[in-house]
Amino acid sequence: MQQGVSGVRVAMKVLVYLPIDAFVKRWAHRLEADGHEVESTFTFSIFTRRLRWADCTLVNATKHDAPRYLWKLLLSLLWARLLRRPVALCVSIDLLDLCDRRPLRALLWVVNWIAFHCPRLVILLATRKHMARRYGLPERRVVFIRNCPDRVKFQPLERSPERVGDRPLTFLYHGELLWWHGLERFLAIYEEIKRRQPARLIVTGNFYPTAFRVLGLAASRREIVVKRQLAALLERDDVHYRGRVSIDDLRWHMAEADFHVSLLNNDNVQARTELRTCLLEAMAAGMACLHAPTPAIATPLFRDGENIVLVDPGDPVACAEKILQLARAPERLDAIRRNAVRTITEHFDIDAEYARVLTRLEQIQQS
């Protein structure tokens, strides 16, 4: 709520357009629970009609496999700028980082530059500061937020007391199968482990075989190659693909898994700046997470062998040996799991991030 003349906070009317990211959806629910009047829509015609109604509008457009969102983003922000309406833009990925064709990259840069300079406020993930530098955004118009898991849904799990030797070593990947996460790179590690002992890989989440296109052209040659590799991986007999599962089923899989396969791509900007929600969810649930040593986790919060397990997929033999050594040292593994939970509890507070965003929304509404 915003401050009234008497100092009492009064409700805002907030329009949420294209709420795709999980944390934006949570903000919308939280705004409503706090007494603000909130409307959410994916429809451009509704957006144009309700823009004048809203005290503040939050636009969230991040969809890597549907090019219409790119144009929706541009048109909506241009329209809001024309009407001089207070708008905040939240973008969690830059499609430019997913494109390897020079003409299309140039087009995306122009579209993004226009889109990023239309709103009064741009909300970016803290690991994606390069986006602000790329488009020359002044600091006063940017707020950096920390991605946070839903700690109500992902609480510490009660694990099975079975010893590793009594069952296959189990790995879990959960969340959408986005091609820059590097799941296909786990396969060589997985095969090295299976040469030494029984193992299984469980994969949950949606897989989108379609490639991101701009003007009808595939924006990334690499995306097409990786998605073919992922499709082949999911068809393997030793990979258990569950598709999208309920939260209860996901927690059951988390409890039976020894390790979480989080992100194993350290090559491109998108992967190197990715702090996956699913990584944070797995840590909150008390899982030992396998992760490539990317800049996004090169902070004091993530420590190899203490609350996360860093592996180099370029050396699958060394990765397999490191994982197996941990699997045979249950006390070390349990310590990593406990520390993972503690890290999320102490440093990833969605309420604190929500409060920071709300303050900035109030400021742009009053400006």
Residues 174 and 139 in one domain: no
Residues 197 and 314 in one domain: yes
CATH number where 192 lies? 3.40.50.2000
Alpha-carbon span 137 to 42, nearest angstrom: 26
Sign of CA dihedral 97, 99, 101, 104: negative
Percentage of residues of the chain with pLDDT beyond 70: 95
Residues 119 and 172 in one domain: no
The residue length of the chain stands at: 367
Asked, for residue 155, whether it belongs to a domain, the answer is no
Asked, for residue 153, whether it belongs to a domain, the answer is no
Asked, for residue 158, whether it belongs to a domain, the answer is no
What's the pLDDT band for 71 if we cut at 50, 70, 90? confident
What's residue 1's pLDDT? Answer: 47
Percentage of residues of the chain with pLDDT beyond 90: 79
Of 181, 230, 175, 211, the C-alpha closest to 65 is 211
Residues 215 and 72 in one domain: no
What's the pLDDT band for 136 if we cut at 50, 70, 90? very high
Residues 353 and 343 in one domain: no
Total domains present in the chain? 2
Asked, for residue 110, whether it belongs to a domain, the answer is yes
**Structure tokens, 95:** 């499609």
Higher pLDDT, 316 or 67: 316
Residues 144 and 179 in one domain: no
What's the pLDDT band for 64 if we cut at 50, 70, 90? low
Alpha-carbon span 295 to 176, nearest angstrom: 22
Q: pTM for the complete prediction?
A: 0.90
- Give residue 346's identity as a one-letter amino acid code: E
Which residues, other chains included, contact 19 with Cβ-Cβ below 8 Å and sequence gap of 6+? 25, 28, 40, 42, 58, 60
Which residues constitute the domain of residue 255?
164-347
Is the confidence at residue 121, as pLDDT, over 90? Answer: yes
Round the average pLDDT of the chain to a whole number and report it.
91
Q: Among all chains, which residue has been given the structure tokens 């990317």?
A: 294
Asked, for residue 303, whether it belongs to a domain, the answer is yes
What's residue 73's pLDDT? Answer: 87
Report whether 125 contacts 275 (CB < 8 A). Answer: yes
